Amino acid sequence: MVRYCLTIEYDGTNYVGWQRQITGSSIQQELEDAVKAFCGENSLVQGAGRTDAGVHALGQVAHVDIKRKTDGNTVRNALNAHLWPQPISILKAEVVPNDFHARFSAQARSYVYVIINRRAPIAIQRHRAWHISRPLKSASMHEAAQRLIGKHDFSTFRASHCQAKSPIKTLTSIDVRQVGERIEIVTKAPSFLYHQVRNFVGTLKLVGEGKWDADDVSKALEARDRQKGGPTAPPGGLYLTQITYPPNNP
Amino acid sequence: MVRYCLTIEYDGTNYVGWQRQITGSSIQQELEDAVKAFCGENSLVQGAGRTDAGVHALGQVAHVDIKRKTDGNTVRNALNAHLWPQPISILKAEVVPNDFHARFSAQARSYVYVIINRRAPIAIQRHRAWHISRPLKSASMHEAAQRLIGKHDFSTFRASHCQAKSPIKTLTSIDVRQVGERIEIVTKAPSFLYHQVRNFVGTLKLVGEGKWDADDVSKALEARDRQKGGPTAPPGGLYLTQITYPPNNP
């Protein structure tokens, strides 16, 4: 049994999310089907981040155990051949020690959320960004976002059906950058609560519109109450960009 | 009768192209349907560049005459409302003089062609870029591309069913730029032959792969024979980015 670490890009638009569900097609299921088609083995593909329906990944990481003797490049090419024409691509497949775990070995997750801020609807970026027509002040959003950094009870930004044991998490960084009509919210943490990034973005939008200021964000955070936070931003703007592992891991 | 100049973005993936055809849905038809839904008028929406099936636009320009008294912002908003949820967006609508013609007043067309050059298939950019897995030398492509600049008989790069009266065109500029795995071919000319940009790109790919050099591109150009050119690049990588008009025109 050899363990492979997979780095994966996908367009999440037409999937129910990372995790297998009876309601539709999931990234995890498609990968397990590709493994089966490649080597005839039933497998469990374990992902580092369980992205939601409509959320994309540029650098999801997962591991899978395969009995058949082979190598990383063969696994990558074979899975890509079986995944085609679905918008799921194995960027890299590497042999890892059997104690490597995509989820539990991970030290940090990085996400980017993309907003297109202009009057006209978006066409090319449809389902890949959040279109906001009212002008946003991205500098104010960045300033307010800094209030979220550190170790906090993030109940205000936690989805009601979040399964995490504790709402206490440590946010490492969150930056709001604008180039022309494109605003990116780039954030990193050891781990996130369910919907946490999208709830941050929905709240920061209120700041960008001038309805809230940085103190309102602090107050919302301190309230530890989902009702006091902003709305949940739509999934299409969110990308899982990177999973960070300790040195000597992939 | 007031003439409006429209600047339009669209994702061409699921359309037969700009021009109305009986075989499927076209951008032109969708725009004319939106005008009809807005003001009840039958119209002819005249585009500056007739993009092909699967080709995208970030800045297509068209004009249309409307009897109903209204203004540019109302036209933009109303057409966008009627176009929704199709991936076609009116970025701008402006009143122009009645002698303005989107196609015949245009002084230049600009296109960009996007290649993603990496081993793994593309997921997020599917239908929006050309995936080439063999490593390309973009500096060689840029050097060879310069041989195409100027006034030439471009028969080598002209589709067999091109309707232009003459194969003689003047190419203003063509630049090949690479940032990481993304290669962009940016080109501008007063006008292009049918498939000219895609045939340039298919030829420059041969240079990037090391199969051809700049002299081979010159020889192909001089042959004035489509059989001597490289293959036609797929439509999904091509974007009409800008139409240039004389000063005091939109």
Compute how many other C-beta atoms are within 10 angstroms of the C-beta atom of residue B92: 18
Note whether A135 contacts B: Cβ–Cβ < 8 A: no
Contact list in B for residue A90 (CB cut-off 8 A) is: 120
Q: Is A207 helix (H, G, I), strand (E, B) or coil?
A: helix
Closest CA to B148 of B208, B115, B188: B188
Sign of the Cα torsion A5, A11, A16, A17 reads positive
Q: Are B109 and B240 in contact (CB under 8 A)?
A: yes
Chain A neighbors of B10, CB-CB under 8 A: 123-124
**Contact between chains at A128 and B124 (C-beta distance less than 8 A):** yes
**Interface residue B56 vs chain A (CB under 8 A):** yes
Our CA-based measurement puts residue B76 at a distance from the nearest CA of chain A, in whole angstroms, of 8
User: What is the per-residue pLDDT for B53?
Assistant: 95
Q: How would residue B250 be classed by pLDDT, with cut points 50, 70 and 90? A: low
Residue pairs between chains A and B whose CB atoms are closer than 8 Å: 60
Q: Write down all domains in chain A, each with its CATH number in brackets.
A: 2-105 (3.30.70.580), 108-243 (3.30.70.660)
Whether the bond between A85 and the residue before it is cis, its omega within 30 degrees of 0, is yes
pLDDT class of A32 with cuts at 50, 70, 90:
very high
Mean pLDDT of A30-59: 96
Cα separations (Å) of A160 from A23, A111, A199, A219, B121? Answer: 20, 21, 12, 20, 37
pTM for the model stands at: 0.94
Task: Please give the share of chain B, as a percent, with pLDDT higher than 70.
Answer: 99
CB-closest option in B11, B89, B118 to A120: B89
- Predicted pLDDT of residue A206: 98
If you search the block for the tokens 């020889």, which residue do you land on?
B219
Q: Does B158 touch chain A (CB under 8 A)?
A: no
Largest CA-CA distance found in chain B, in angstroms, rounded: 59
Mean pLDDT of chain A: 96
Q: Which amino acid is at A151?
A: K
CB contact under 8 A, B9 and A123: yes
Catalytic: B213? Answer: no
The answer to whether the CB atoms of B120 and A92 lie below 8 A apart is: yes
Angstrom distances, CA of residue B143 to CA of B91, B149, B174, B183, B226: 35, 11, 10, 14, 22
d(Cα A98, Cα A120) in Å, to the nearest integer? 51
**C-alpha distance from residue B226 to each of B196, B203, B218, B222 (Å):** 11, 11, 14, 11
Q: What is the pLDDT of residues A204-250, one digit of tens each?
A: 999 999 999 999 999 999 999 999 999 999 999 999 999 999 987 66
- The string of DSSP letters for B53-81 reads TT-EEEEEEEEEEE-S---HHHHHHHHHH
- B28, B44 in Cβ contact below 8 A? no
Mutation target to probe the A interface, by most A beta carbons within 10 A, among B89, B122, B125, B131 is B89
Mean pLDDT confidence for B135-152: 98
Identify the pLDDT of residue B165.
86
Which residues of A are tagged catalytic?
52
* Contact at CB, B123 and A76, closer than 8 angstroms: no
Question: For position A250, what pLDDT does the model report?
Answer: 60
d(CA B186, CA B114): 9
Mean pLDDT of B75-103: 97
> Which residues of chain B lie closer than 8 angstroms to A120, CB-CB?
9, 76, 80, 89-92
| Secondary structure class of A203 (helix, strand, coil) | helix
CB-CB under 8 Å, A11 with B126: yes
A179 in contact with B, Cβ within 8 Å? no
Going along B108-224, which residue ranges are E strands? 108-117, 130-132, 150-153, 168-171, 173-179, 182-189
Mean pLDDT value of segment A79-102: 97
Q: How far apart are CA B59 and CA B106, in angstroms?
A: 13
Interfacial A residues in 90-109 facing B (CB < 8 Å):
90-92
What integer pLDDT is reported at residue B85 of this predicted model?
A: 95
The DSSP output letter for B15 is S
Q: Which residues does chain B have within 8 Å of residue A81's beta carbon, measured at their own beta carbons?
A: none
Contact B11 A126 (CB under 8 A): yes
ipTM here: 0.90
Closest residue on chain A to B119 (Cα): A91
> What are the phi and psi torsion angles at A138 (to 5°)?
-70, -30
Q: What is the pLDDT of residue B52?
A: 94
Closest-CA distance, A165 to chain B, in angstroms, reads: 33
Q: Which of A89, A120, A126 sits opposite B122 (nearest CB)?
A: A89
Residue in chain A closest to B92 (alpha carbons) equals A120
Q: How far apart are CA B228 and CA B221, in angstroms?
A: 8
For residue B219, which phi and psi values (nearest 5 degrees)? -65, -40
Catalytic residue among B11, B52, B65, B153: B52
Q: How far is B122 from chain A (nearest CA, A)?
A: 6
- Conformational region of residue B218, where left means phi above 0, alpha means psi within -120 to 50, and beta covers everything else: alpha
Give the alpha-carbon dihedral of A22, A28, A33, A37, to 10 degrees. 180
| Euclidean distance between CA atoms B101 and B107, whole angstroms | 11
- Nearest chain B residue to A82, by CA: B121
CA distance A166 to A120: 41
CB-based contact (8 Å) between B82 and chain A? no
Please name which of A150, A192, A247, A147 lies closest in space to residue A49, comparing C-alpha atoms: A192
Are the C-beta atoms of A26 and A16 separated by less than 8 Å? yes
